[in-house]
Amino acid sequence: MSKEDKKEHILDTAEKVFAEFGYEGASTRFLASQAGVNMAMINYYFGSKDGLLQAVLQRRIVSMRNLLEEVKGMLLPAGEKLMRALEVYVNRISTNNCFHRIIHREISLNQRSELSDKISDNVFMNVQTFRDIIREGVQNGAFRKVDVEMTVANIMGTIYYIINSRAVSARLLNIDFQQPEVMETEVRPRIKKFLHDYLQAYLTNHDLQKQ
């Protein structure tokens, strides 16, 4: 295994461990044992457990941000741009669920720290993309005037609740999350369709349609 492959393997393992046990519940020794490496190697690549968690988060958040910024910069109608951003976001969150469980776990804690602030700052940059797209649509008349921030909260709340509150959402949607294909075949398409239909109904500027 090359040096880069080994580093990626440690990051993949750490992502799963942090998602299951949280930052405080995952010791460096345990992380090393799960990755099949010694603690010195983790320190060599990442400096500390804190550095490892930051590397795990940075890897996912930055790639997500790049994709969303690419969509935001497209010369498309606001409605189509919003749907493309949703496609990226839902696909990423449903595919990398371990990572998003880490984020939810860490920013849900009431403790303020440099780490939680960094996580919140990075997550907000991605959320802000949706706010900017909806604001753009409101300003150019493609969308009706709405509470933009609450609309974004509604979008994020729907996605995160269904994907992260599985014990309840499984019963609500009558699905079995234990089936490996259920996220791709049932949950992800259903989230996308609902948000598409909801946002189309909620944001459509009917005055524009009458012209």
Q: Read off the pTM.
A: 0.75
45 in Cβ contact with 32 (< 8 Å): no
More confident residue, 110 or 79: 79
Query: What is the CATH architecture assignment of 59-210?
Result: Orthogonal Bundle (1.10)
Calculate Rg over the CA atoms of the chain: 19
CA 174, 177, 181, 186 dihedral sign is: positive
In angstroms, how far is the first alpha carbon of the chain from the final one? 63
90 in Cβ contact with 159 (< 8 Å): yes
- The chain-wide mean pLDDT, for the chain, equals 84
Lowest mean pLDDT among 36-45, 134-143, 201-210: 201-210
Q: What's the pLDDT tens digit per position in 157-168?
A: 998 888 878 889
Query: Quick one: pLDDT at residue 99?
Result: 63
